[in-house]
Amino acid sequence: MGNYNIKEMAKKIKEIRKTAEELQKLGGDIEAVKKNVVRLLSSTAMLELNICDISDLV
C-alpha cells in the first residue's frame, strides 16, 4: 500500500471547491459558467467523499 498525503489532498480539494464557488459568483447569469460549475462541484463532492471525509481518520 502506498503512502498518501491525505491531509494535503484534502487541503487542495477544499481549495478547488472555494475556487469553483468563486467562479460561480463571477459567472453571474452566464448559463455556460453556472451549469459547468455544477458539474465541477459534483466531481469535487466525489473527491470530498473519497478523501476529505476520511482525512482526519487516517
Partner 1 sequence: MEVSPHMKKDNIYWNPVMETLPREKLRELQLRKFKKIFEWAYNNSPFYKKLYKDAGLEPGDIKRYEDIVRVPKIDKGMLRDVQTRPPFPYGDMLAVPLSEVTEFRQTSGTTGTPVYQADTWQDWDWWAECWAYILYAQGYRDTDRLFIPFGYNIFVAFWACHYGAEKLGCEVVPGGVLDTEARIMKMKELRCTAFGATPTYVLGMADTARKIGIDPKTIGIQKITCAGEPGASIPTTKKRIEDAWGAKVYDHIGATEIGAWSYMCTFDSRGLHVNEGCFLVEIEDIDTGEIIDKPGKNGKMIITAFDRKAKPCIRFDSKDVIRWADYDCECGRTFRMIDGGVVGRADDITKVKGVLLAPTAIEEVVRSFAELSDEYEVVVSKKGDIDDILLKIEIKPEFEAQKEGILGRLKDELRVKTNLGYKMEVHPYGSLPRYEVKAKRFKDLREH
Q: Where are the alpha helices (DSSP H) in the chain?
A: 6-27, 31-50
The span from the CA of 31 to the CA of 33, in Å, is: 5
- Work out whether 13 is an interface residue with partner 1 (CB under 8 A): no
- Work out whether 10 is an interface residue with partner 1 (CB under 8 A): no
- Work out whether 26 is an interface residue with partner 1 (CB under 8 A): no
Closest approach, Cβ 33 to partner 1, in A, equals 15
Quote the crossing angle between the two packed helices 31-50 and 6-27, to the nearest 10°. 160
Contact residues for partner 1, defined by CB under 8 A: 1-2, 4, 6, 38-39, 41-43, 45-46, 49-51, 53-54, 57-58
